[in-house]
Chain A
Amino acid sequence: MKVTLTVNGQPCSADCEPRRTLADFLRHDLGFTGVHVGCEHGVCGACTITLDGATARACCLLAVQAEGADVTTVEGLATGGELHPLQEAFREHHGLQCGFCTPGVLATAAELLATNPDPSEAEVREALAGHLCRCTGYQFIVDAVRAAAVKPA
C-alpha cells in the first residue's frame, strides 16, 4: 500500500506492506535513521516519535495507520542548524551518553516540557520511566531535562 505523510515538515511517500511498522517505514523506506528500534513491543521507548502533536511508539503503529499524519523525528528537532534547547542541555550535561535511547528520550522530554514547563525531579523521572537506558546513567538525563526546562525555548 502507498503511504503518504509529512515528516519534519516535508511531504514523504513510499509503498509498504500493511505489516510494516511505522518505525521500519521511517528508517528503511524514508531514511530517517534517527528512529531507533529496540524492543519492538513498546517497552524500551527508543522508537518514540511525535505523531500529530503527541508522542507515540513507532514500533507499536503500522505505517498504514500514519497515512496523512504529521510526524516529527529527532532529525526534525533542530531548526535552521540551531540545536533545540533540549539537545543543547543534553550536550552540556552529558545526557547523550551512548546516544541509542536519546531520540526517544528527547521526544518524551519535549512533550513533558510542553505540558509542564517546570517539572519536578520526580515528574521528570516518571516521564523518563518509559525509556530503558542501557548505559543506566539516568541522572545526567534528568539533569539535562531540568536544565532545559529553565531555559527559554
Chain B
Amino acid sequence: MKAAAFEYVRAESVTDAIAALATGGSQVLAGGQSLVPLLNMRLARPSLLVDINALDELAYVRRDGEHVEIGALTRQRAVETSEVVRRDVPLLAQALRHVGHVATRNRGTLGGSLAHADPAAELPAVAVALDAEILVRGPGGERVIGAREFFEGPFRTVLTPGELLTAVRFPVRRAECAIEELSRRSKDLALVAVFVTVEQADGRCARARIAVAGAGPTPIRAVAAEELLHGRILDDAVLAEAAQEIAAATDPPSDLHAPAAYRREMAAVLGRRALTKAVR
C-alpha cells in the first residue's frame, strides 16, 4: 500500500492554490486524513497535489452577526474545542466527537471533509441539517453555495476545476440537538447516523431540522419529518410518526456491511432516539 508517484506543490497563497488547481489531474491536499489513505491504496491517482496547509488565513473560527464562519483549513479538533462553536453551533461540536479519533481530528480539516463528500461522513450531514453556506473561490471569483446544493453524489460536489473551498458559514443554532450513530467500529464512518435540532415554544415544536448520513448518495434532509413535527406537541406518538418519515426520506445503499432495508429501519430507530434525546 504505497501511493503512486505524483507532483507536489506547496501553495503560498489562495491565488497560488487556485492557479495550480487549474492543472488537469490536480487535487487539493488539506488534512489528508481521507486523501492520503486513498493515495496509499491507489484508489486516488492525482498527477499533482496542491498542498494548502501553509495557508494560515484559511484557519479561523469567528462569529459574524448571525453566523459562525469557519475557515476551510481549520482543524477538526480546533472546531470541536472552540467555545464559539460549542455555544452557537452545538450540533457541529457534538458531531465532531464521532469524526475519527483525536489523532485524526488533529490533522483533518472542516473544509476537507466537506469537499471529500463522503455520504457516510458526519460533517456534510451537519452542514445539510443546519443549512450552512459553503464559500468557494476560483478563477471566476467567489461564490456561495447552499449545503443542500453542494453535494451531487458519493464523493462528488459542484466544485469545478480550479475552485477551492475557503470557508463554511453556519447559522447560529443554539437549539436542543442530538446525534445517534451506528458504526461498525468506534468513531468510524456511519452505517447510518441521524442529526437533529429541535426548537420548542409553548410546549410545541417551533422548528426541527433533521439530516441523515449513510443512507443515500448524499446527506439527506428529512423535510417531510420536519414538516410533520411543526406546531405539534412532541409526545411519543408524534416522534414515532416522524421517525417513519425520516426512514421514508432515505435512499440507502446495500453493500457488504448492511442491506438497504436494514439501513432504512435503523434510520427510523436512530431518528426516534435522537428526537427523544433532543426534546428530553
Chain A residues engaging chain B, CB cutoff 8 angstroms: 1, 17-19, 21, 24, 40-43, 45, 48, 51, 54-57, 59-62, 64-65, 67, 107-108, 111-112, 126-127, 129-130
Give the Cβ gap from A16 to chain B, nearest Cβ, in Å. Answer: 11
- Residue pairs across A and B with Cβ atoms less than 8 A apart, 17 shown, are A1-B8, A18-B6, A19-B3, A48-B103, A56-B103, A59-B36, A60-B104, A62-B29, A65-B32, A65-B53, A67-B10, A108-B103, A112-B102, A126-B186, A127-B101, A130-B100, A130-B104
Residues of B within 8 A of A129 (CB): 101, 186-187
Q: What number of A-B contacts does a CB cutoff of 8 Å give?
A: 93
Q: Is the CB of B8 within 8 A of A40?
A: no
In the complex, what distance in Å separates the CA atom of A59 from the CA atom of B4?
15
Residues of A within 8 A of B186 (CB): 126, 129-130
Q: A60-B32, A62-B32, A65-B51 are in contact. Are A41 and B1 (CB under 8 A)?
A: yes
Q: Is the CB of A62 within 8 A of B36?
A: yes
Give the Cβ gap from A75 to chain B, nearest Cβ, in Å. Answer: 18
Residues of A within 8 A of B104 (CB): 42, 57, 60, 130
Rank and list the top 4 A-B pairs by shortest CB-CB distance, nearest first. Answer: A130-B101, A18-B8, A41-B37, A129-B186
From A40, A45, A57, A64, residue with most partner B Cβ within 10 Å: A57
Residues of B within 8 A of A1 (CB): 8
In the complex, what distance in Å separates the CA atom of A15 from the CA atom of B14?
27
Q: A1-B8, A60-B33, A61-B32 are in contact. Are A41 and B40 (CB under 8 A)?
A: yes
Q: A18-B49, A19-B3, A19-B5 are in contact. Are A111 and B40 (CB under 8 A)?
A: no
Select B101's contact among A21, A24, A45, beta carbons within 8 Å: A45
In the complex, what distance in Å separates the CA atom of A61 from the CA atom of B3?
12
Q: Is the CB of A55 within 8 A of B102?
A: yes
Interface bin, chain B: 20 to 34
Name B193-210 residues within 8 Å CB distance of A. none
Select B40's contact among A17, A21, A126, beta carbons within 8 Å: A21
Name B1-40 residues within 8 Å CB distance of A. 1-8, 10, 29, 32-33, 36-37, 39-40
* Interface presence of B244 (CB below 8 A): no
Give the Cβ gap from B28 to chain A, nearest Cβ, in Å. Answer: 13
Chain B residues engaging chain A, CB cutoff 8 angstroms: 1-8, 10, 29, 32-33, 36-37, 39-41, 49, 51, 53, 77, 100-104, 106-107, 185-187
Give the Cβ gap from B101 to chain A, nearest Cβ, in Å. Answer: 3
Name B81's closest neighbour in chain A (CB-CB). A115
Q: Is the CB of B102 within 8 A of A42?
A: no
Q: Is the CB of A21 within 8 A of B36?
A: yes
From B2, B51, B77, B107, residue with most partner A Cβ within 10 Å: B107
Give the Cβ gap from B241 to chain A, nearest Cβ, in Å. Answer: 35
Q: Is the CB of A55 within 8 A of B187?
A: no
Give the Cβ gap from B182 to chain A, nearest Cβ, in Å. Answer: 16
Q: A56-B103, A57-B104 are in contact. Are A64 and B40 (CB under 8 A)?
A: no
In the complex, what distance in Å separates the CA atom of A143 from the CA atom of B1?
34
Select B103's contact among A45, A62, A67, A126, beta carbons within 8 Å: A45
Residues of B within 8 A of A67 (CB): 10
Q: Is the CB of B102 within 8 A of A130?
A: yes
Q: Is the CB of A62 within 8 A of B8?
A: yes
Give the Cβ gap from A30 to chain B, nearest Cβ, in Å. Answer: 18
Q: Is the CB of A42 within 8 A of B3?
A: no
Name A108's closest neighbour in chain B (CB-CB). B103
Residues of A within 8 A of B77 (CB): 54
Select B106's contact among A19, A45, A56, A126, beta carbons within 8 Å: A56
List 11 other contacts, CB 8 Å, given A56-B103, A61-B32.
A17-B5, A21-B3, A42-B104, A56-B106, A59-B36, A60-B33, A60-B37, A62-B8, A64-B51, A108-B103, A130-B102
Q: A60-B32, A61-B32, A61-B36 are in contact. Are A108 and B6 (CB under 8 A)?
A: no
Give the Cβ gap from A124 to chain B, nearest Cβ, in Å. Answer: 13
In the complex, what distance in Å separates the CA atom of A111 from the CA atom of B186?
19
